[in-house]
A and B are shown apart, each in its own frame.
Chain A
Amino acid sequence: MFQATELNLRNEKIQKRWRLLFLLMALLLILPVLIILILLVYRGGPVISWSFLFEFPTNGMTEGGIFPALLGTIFLVVVALIFSVPLGVAAAVYLSEYAPDNWLTRSINLAIINLAGVPSIVHALFGVGAFVLFFKFGTSILAASLTLGIMTLPVVIVATRESLQAVPHAFREACWALGATRWQTIRRIVLPNAVSGILTGIILEVSRTAGETAPIMFTGAAFFLPFLPESVYDQTMALSLHLFVISTQVPGVPEDLPFGVALVLIGIVLSMNALSIAFRVYLRNKKKW
């Protein structure tokens, strides 16, 4: 009675084949990541040293270090964060906690989706038009960072909104019933419980910002500078652009040098991602409800 029929057996065989196919596809995902990492470490690893990290490029960027580019990337990211985090978090708080469901809210949401979908080179042109020319910031860290900030705003807004909405609605209702205003509820209950998620979003934004090339190449990142920037109105070098430049624009660069730069860049991005994963684990362990 419980004997498997011909059909049962055939179905099971088919099921196993599909499973295998899906597994292979999933495993395929690891492949590019592994190849990239292995290649970078293998070729770029020997290039990296203290002097590589902390010295200026010399001899037409074919020798020396990457210090101004490394510092420039950090500079760009920090200024972009200063601009985009307050703006993004505030907008997300409005959208999540205050906004009624009307045409204005819907158009803001639509704008965010569209902003996320704009190609980075278009952001670059917008940055040139708006910040470099119209606001007369010139090609500068300020202009480049603002461009990066606008480009990554959707990341901050979406991450913040999601983590705000992950706070159960019952908490808000209980707090309102105590006579708290919306703002008191946000400040005392909602934000403290969403803050780890917001930080995760910000870190993801950092890794995205650090890697972008197109938005900064017309707005503030320089081909080569023999000095460090002194203010946000100066130009700066940046790792991503530096990598592009020494890989394609400069003759006579030793073959392994770009791999070293790429390794540093990806190291920054991956360590930021690791930080965000660590935050998420920390958050899960501290889950308060």
Chain B
Amino acid sequence: MPQAPSDAGPEAAPPQTPPVLEVENLSIRYGDVSALRDVSLTVREHEIFGIIGPANSGKTSFLKALNRMDLFEANMRVDGTIRFLGRDVRAWRNVYALRQHIGVVFPLPVGLPLSIYDNVALSPRLRGVKEKRELDVIVERCLTRAALWDEVKDRLDSLGSLLSGGQQQRLTIARALSQDPVLLVLDEFSIAVDPVTTMRIEDVLKELRKEITVIMVTNLVQQAHRLADRTAFFLSGDCVEIGETDDLFEGKVKDPRTHDYILGRFG
């Protein structure tokens, strides 16, 4: 676990904080199809790291490699190194411990067919938390942090999979938070969510930055602008550019393609 700098406020400049994730020369192939080529980047503690890019640019593959979900895909091959908390993800004692440290939110909200309570209590239970009182505390805290508590506190027993899309997406965020993750990974979380809920979730993420690190994949350029401290631009499997978000959006780019994408000239 990284040492949390005690004096780091929410606005602490990212470069000073220690790295949570270091990626070096990462390449991903599905059989003969190359999905990602030679990507190197570093994500630091307490920053929101945005990844933008059109479809098929390798963003989701990148996320899958982080928590070793590639193990579930027979033909996915990952080369290069990913160091999470200073250790190669392939050298983690066991992948389940690794995954518990990385919370994942998928593009389409997946409320598991359990009660709202059980959805959030699932991860603690997998970790071996049995006591009802302890679980109650975790469930309330995570739902509150995901800005869902007030809407569901009276019906925690009803099915999580029957909530509305926006609520389900916040439920999945609460579930990811129940893992007590060091890193929260969001894959285009706002695809199936209405604008109002999207703004609420964005507020949640801004709050969360004080405590954890966030990687946010989005194809909404403006969302990256609103949230991300630094942003990477992926295009058809290449990491074209990484920079301070403000710089990118002010036009201080090294590659003209980044500029064109941000301005909406393609993609």
| Contact of B100 (CB < 8 Å), options: A170, A179, A188, A192 | A179
CB distance from B186 to the nearest CB of A (A): 12
A119 interface hit (Cβ, 8 Å): no
Question: Are the C-beta atoms of B123 and A193 separated by less than 8 Å?
Answer: no
- Residues in A with CB closer than 8 Å to B85 are none
A14 interface hit (Cβ, 8 Å): no
Question: Are the C-beta atoms of A177 and B67 separated by less than 8 Å?
Answer: yes
Task: Of the listed stretches B4-12, B106-114, B211-219, B237-245, name the one at the interface; the rest are far from the partner chain.
Answer: B106-114
- Chain B: residues with Cβ within 8 Å of the partner, total of 30
A178 in contact with B159 given A101-B74, A170-B110, A289-B113 (CB within 8 Å): no
- Residues in B with CB closer than 8 Å to A180 are 96, 122, 126
- Residues in B with CB closer than 8 Å to A173 are 69, 72, 106, 110
Select from chain B the residue with minimum beta-carbon distance to A178.
Answer: B123
Question: Are the C-beta atoms of B179 and A170 separated by less than 8 Å?
Answer: no
| Contact of A100 (CB < 8 Å), options: B74, B103, B108, B161 | B74
CA distance A233 to B124 in the complex (A): 50
CB distance from B215 to the nearest CB of A (A): 14
- Residues in B with CB closer than 8 Å to A175 are 112, 122
Q: Chain A interface mostly helix, strand, loop or mixed?
A: helix
- Chain A: residues with Cβ within 8 Å of the partner, total of 20
CB distance from A48 to the nearest CB of B (A): 44
CB distance from B103 to the nearest CB of A (A): 8
Question: Are the C-beta atoms of B126 and A174 separated by less than 8 Å?
Answer: no
B83-124 contact mask (Cβ, 8 Å, vs A): 1 or 0: 000000000000011111011101010111110000000110
Question: Are the C-beta atoms of B126 and A176 separated by less than 8 Å?
Answer: no
| Contact of B97 (CB < 8 Å), options: A174, A178, A179 | A179
Select from chain A the residue with minimum beta-carbon distance to B125.
Answer: A188
A284 interface hit (Cβ, 8 Å): no
B110-145 contact mask (Cβ, 8 Å, vs A): 1 or 0: 111110000000110011000000000000000000
Question: Are the C-beta atoms of B113 and A171 separated by less than 8 Å?
Answer: yes
Q: For window 170-185 of chain B, which residues contact chain A by CB distance below 8 Å? A: 172, 175-176, 179
A178 in contact with B100 given A188-B122, A193-B113, A289-B161 (CB within 8 Å): yes
- Residues in B with CB closer than 8 Å to A179 are 96-100, 123, 126-127, 179
Q: For window 48-99 of chain A, which residues contact chain B by CB distance below 8 Å? A: none
A114 interface hit (Cβ, 8 Å): no
| Contact of A174 (CB < 8 Å), options: B72, B74, B112, B162 | B112
Question: Are the C-beta atoms of A174 and B96 separated by less than 8 Å?
Answer: no
CA distance A16 to B67 in the complex (A): 59
| Contact of B69 (CB < 8 Å), options: A100, A101, A176 | A176
CA distance A176 to B102 in the complex (A): 11
CA distance A288 to B168 in the complex (A): 14
A170 in contact with B113 given A178-B126, A179-B100, A288-B161 (CB within 8 Å): no
| Contact of A288 (CB < 8 Å), options: B102, B103, B113, B176 | B113
- Residues in A with CB closer than 8 Å to B175 are 174, 178
Question: Are the C-beta atoms of A174 and B110 separated by less than 8 Å?
Answer: yes
CB distance from A146 to the nearest CB of B (A): 36
Select from chain B the residue with minimum beta-carbon distance to A167.
Answer: B113
- Residues in B with CB closer than 8 Å to A174 are 106, 110, 112, 172, 175
> Knowing that A171-B112, A188-B122 are A-B contacts, what are 6 other residue pairs whose CB atoms are under 8 Å apart, sorted by A's residue number?
A170-B106, A174-B172, A176-B72, A177-B103, A178-B123, A289-B111
21 A–B pairs (Cβ distance < 8 Å), ordered by A: A170-B106, A173-B69, A173-B72, A173-B110, A174-B112, A175-B112, A176-B72, A176-B99, A177-B69, A177-B103, A178-B99, A178-B122, A178-B123, A178-B126, A178-B175, A178-B179, A179-B98, A179-B123, A188-B114, A288-B161, A289-B161
A→B interface (CB under 8 Å): 100-101, 170-171, 173-181, 184, 188-189, 192-193, 288-289
